[in-house]
Structure formats: C-alpha cells, structure tokens
Amino acid sequence: MLHKTLSDSDFSKQNNLTFDSLNAFKNEWNSILLKERNIRVRPNVDDKIITSWNALLIDGFIDAYNAFGNPSYLQKAKDAMAFLLNNAYTNNRLVHSYKEGSKQTEGFLEDYAFLSKASLSMYAATLDTTYLELGNSLMTIIQDRFEDESSGMFRYNEDNSLISKIIKTDDGVLPSPNTIVAQNLLELGHLYYDTAQLDKAQSMMITILPRVEEAMNNYAQWSSLMLATAFPFYEVVVVGPNASSLISELHKEYIPNALIAGSSTQSELPLYEDRYFEDGTYIYVCFNNTCKLPVETTSDAMRQLRSFQRN
C-alpha cells in the first residue's frame, strides 16, 4: 500500500521540481499503477441492497429532516422508499435483499418491522396517508406470519417447521426487531386509538423486563420504549391546511414522550376526527383521550404541554 508522506509543495521543493513537472510525473506513475492493477483479479463486490438496512437509513434521513429542515434529506428518504417498494415488495411480501438477476431471499421480521417504522416516520414527515397505510399493513403481516404465541414475542423468520425458531430480543449492531415491533404498536395504537395494539406493546415490555434489568446495556431500545410508557405519553395533533408548517416548528422543540401527528385535510382517522376546520390550523394537546382547547401557535401548545405535565 503506497502512502503519501509529503505534500506536493514539500516534495517539489525537496526534489527541485516545478509543479508542472511533478504533475507530469504523477500522471505517468498513475498510468503505470493502473496498468498493473488491471492485470489483477478484481475483488468480489457485495452490492446487494438489504431491505432492513435501507429502512433504517430512511428513518435516519427523516430524523435529519426533522432536525435540520433540509428538504434534500426528505427527498432521499422518498427515493429510497420508492426503490424498496418497487423492487423488494410484491404481493404483500418483502424480500430480505435485492440484486438484479439474483435469487431473492424471503424477508425476515427485521425487514417488515424496520420498513413499517420507516413508513410511519415518512407519514409523520409528509402527512401522506399512503405511508401510514403501508406501515399499518406491514404490522398486520407481522402479527399474522411472525407471532409466537408461546412467548408473546415475534419470530425472526416466518413459521416454518424446517427452520429452527429464532426469537431475537436483545439489541446488537441492529436494534432488536421485537423492540421495533413494540414501538410500532405503541405509535399505531395512539394514531388509531387501538387499545389492542397498546396492550400488546405493554405485554411485550412486561415479558422482556427481567432481561432488561439483568443486562440493560443489551436492551437500549427496550429501555427507551419503557421510558415512553413509564411516564405520561402525550399526543400533539395538528389539523388544518397549514399543518406541515406547524409540525416543522414543533420539531424544533424538545418534546419527549409524545406523538406528533397531523393532517392537512379532513380525515376519518380517530385522532383527527371532527378536528378539521378550513378557516385555520389548530394544535390539540391530548393525554389519555382528553385534550386541551385547540390553539393556533406552537408556543401556546408548549404552554399547554407544560400545564399537563404539572398536573
């Protein structure tokens, strides 16, 4: 491995060369090296596109978009999501990895769970209900195909007697797919006012609690989820034509233990029902199905949140 130890300027001075002469030598050296490199067998390249990894990337782009407001991050998330839906998702089935012309492996729990989470993040950022429906649909698939009734958790692979049952609950290089499933259940439960999903998320946390207490370092995602449920969890709902702008303002605030959601149109979703008015955009701060009076500014909404927290 060749290693450059001097800058071009220092090398030129030490060897009494002009910059033009040095550049001519460098071009000649590069040509010699390239000729020799082309003789060698090229290394194998692993260029398959893994669904779960790209879903995590989409989620990261959305986090960056919410934090910095840079529209290029949102566009990258949209492009990556469109690619996965066009190439890795057919007839309600995901593949674990995609490479043109190669055999495709059936998706695992992490693929469905991570893509569902990415879809919910996309919905929160764009208010496009197509993403919400996708996230909810993927969670339905997970519950139909991956649930293990004996443990209360979800298998890594679909129910297949030829494959040993794997239930991954600890966080490693990637988050535990079971944690992400529980997080998705919590979010969807609040969006749809679905107590069954909230109860399932709570049940999973109760099941895993002894392991978390024994080795918390291996269960960071579970610990984060438990914090969200151990303390009051709020819904900050923005409804009206200007919902996207107000949601962007809310993302500039630190609002832990809260679901920030919105709709710029009339919606039958329980969270938004009877809250849309064409004459303005309103923020509803809610807790346990009880909401404060609607307000029109983020500063007023933050005051209501603090009032909830003091009570």
Give me 91's structure tokens: 């007839």
Q: pTM value?
A: 0.85
C-alpha 136/C-alpha 257 separation (Å) is 21
Instruction: Compute the average pLDDT of residues 238-245.
Output: 96
pLDDT at 160: 66
| Angstrom distance (rounded) from CA 107 to CA 89 | 9
Query: What average pLDDT does the segment 229-248 reach?
Result: 94
Domain made up of 50-230: CATH architecture: Alpha/alpha barrel (1.50)
- pLDDT at residue 162, rounded to an integer: 59
Q: Calculate mean pLDDT across residues 216-244.
A: 93
Local confidence band at 45 (pLDDT 50, 70, 90 cut-offs): confident
Give one word for 6, left, alpha or beta, with left for phi > 0 and alpha for psi -120 to 50. beta
For 66-73, which contacts have Cβ atoms below 8 Å and span 24 or more sequence positions? 66/125, 66/248, 66/251, 67/251, 69/248
Which distant-in-sequence residues (6+ apart) come within 8 Å of 84 by Cβ?
Answer: 51, 54, 55, 98, 115
Maximum CA pair distance of the chain? 81
Q: Kindly state the average pLDDT of the residues 60-89.
A: 97
What are phi and psi for residue 3, nearest 5 degrees?
A: -130, 125
Q: Compute the C-alpha angle 264/268/271, nearest 5°.
A: 75
Q: What is the mean pLDDT of the chain?
A: 92
pLDDT for 289-302, tens place per residue?
A: 888 999 999 999 99
